[in-house]
Amino acid sequence: MNIKKNSLVVIVLLFSYSLIAQEVLTKKEAIEIALKNNYGIKIANNNLKVSNNNTSIYNTGFLPTLSTSAGANYRNENQEITRQVNGQKLDPEKIKGAVTKSYNASVNLNYTIFDGLGRKYNYQRLKETYNLTKLEARETIENTYLQIFTLYFQVARLTENSQNLAEVLKISKERVKRAEYQYEYGQSSKLAFLNAKVDMNNDSIIYINNKQQLLNAKRDLNIVLGTDKDVSYEVETTISFQELKNFEDIYNKTKENNVSLKQRKKNLAINDLNIKFAKSNYLPTLDLTSSYNWNQSENPSTSFLAGINTNGLNAGLRLSWNVFDGGITKTRVTNAKITQENQQILLEQQEETLKNTLKNSWGNYQNQLFVLKVQEENVLTSQNNFDRTLERFKLGQVTSIEFRQAQLNLLNTKASLNNAKYNAKLSEIQLLQLSGEILNMNF
């Protein structure tokens, strides 16, 4: 009875382990996890919040400033005064402890009515800077997408290689058993058995090394995802390609949507506003100042007035015009124009570089698709050759060396097919990134 219970427990544990091991991390789920947890994306989003705060009305200078102040003063001193009546001086009068008390409070309002349009251009510049930060955040996300797919496909590649190596190891073990039986019954030499065992051991080592590489690749993927996910998960190994029509279509999308190109154009717009902002110093500034004041004082007997209490409203306009500032504004405008020219040069350079990169990527993509097609044919040929060799090997019509060669040929062609498949997909994703379509790709 206990044996049955223990057997049931073992079966349940094995079934549970199987369910855990079969957890599949899809490409879509990987992207969703990274968007929430990736450290670079988190920083980019925080930078975007800061830039958004900078575009607030509170950071533009369009609002007035309002301040209050209050104070009290106490003075205690000894005084000696000499009065005069009808031009005649009287005897000096000494007073000890003459106390003077004063109090004041005010509310002050200041507002710049006109500053040469500097605030307007500065506000526009802040908005364009926010848009530039959005593009920088988008670039971070696009780069993260590419990094995730690169590591994800590395895991998928090693997963398929592991499956192929497991199959090779299984066949090698069967070959060892067969060689051992043949040796025991005198149908083959011990050398054939030893060769089979060496090949099996080599296959075991390759399989174990590949499994370790697979675990390492999963941990690397976890770092980009920003998670401490258990490495027992599996990944998708099926690949579907999007229909990329022709180079001109990709090139047109790249000119319109490429994030690096958009950043160059945005920098150009910001520098144009920098020129206008610098020119605003040529114009006058008109400020409004207003305050409400209250003052009260208590004076000693030596003062003409025993005390005074005043309150009232003050308001005024102040016009200032820096007619000549020693050439500072002129220098700033000139330098801003030179910077604008540099930005235009960088934009043209970016367009040329991008076109060249796109041509190279397109050519590489076409080449990878061709290689993929050829490797698929090679696998079919190698599989057919291996199946025939295996049958002849069982019949004793081929040597163990010929069988091993067929086995290795099949393994190598399958590995080459995996490389071609994932290299072609990565080439496609790189094209989608250049054309600004990577965030809209189908998984």
Quick one: pLDDT at residue 443?
72
Q: What is the pTM of this model?
A: 0.85
Q: What is the CA angle 300-303-306, rounded to 5?
A: 65
Q: Are residues 150 and 248 in the same domain?
A: yes
Residue 113 makes CB contacts below 8 A (sequence gap 6+) with: 286, 287, 288, 317
Counting residues of the chain whose pLDDT is more than 70, the rounded percentage is: 95
| Bridge partners, residue 112, by sequence | 287
Quick one: pLDDT at residue 243?
82
> CB of 35 within 8 A of CB of 107?
no
Quick one: pLDDT at residue 22?
64
Residues 190, 193, 197, 199, CA torsion sign: positive
Q: Is residue 17 part of a domain?
A: no
Q: Is residue 89 part of a domain?
A: yes
List, for residues 284-327, the tens digit of each pLDDT value.
999 999 999 999 988 887 777 778 889 999 999 999 999 999 99
Quick one: pLDDT at residue 409?
95
Return d(Cα 98, Cα 108) in angstroms, integer.
Answer: 33
Return d(Cα 268, Cα 94) in angstroms, integer.
Answer: 77
Q: Is residue 421 part of a domain?
A: yes
Return d(Cα 364, Cα 426) in angstroms, integer.
Answer: 10
Q: Is residue 3 part of a domain?
A: no
Nearest alpha carbon to residue 243 among 423, 26, 440, 428: 428
Q: Are residues 382 and 436 in the same domain?
A: yes
Q: Is residue 2 part of a domain?
A: no
Say which residue the tokens 């690749």 belong to. 217
Q: Is residue 408 part of a domain?
A: yes
Average pLDDT per 10 consecutive residues for the chain, totaling 443 residues: 38 40 87 95 96 93 94 86 75 80 94 94 96 97 96 97 94 90 81 90 96 96 93 93 89 95 96 95 94 89 79 94 93 96 96 96 96 96 95 88 92 95 96 94 79
Quick one: pLDDT at residue 8?
37
Q: Are residues 164 and 244 in the same domain?
A: yes
Range of the domain at 104: 67-114+285-320
Q: Are residues 171 and 237 in the same domain?
A: yes
CATH number at residue 53: 1.20.1600.10
Number of domains in the chain: 2
Q: End of a domain among 320, 337, 371?
A: 320
Amino acid identity of residue 332, one-letter, is R
| Bridge partners, residue 110, by sequence | 65, 289
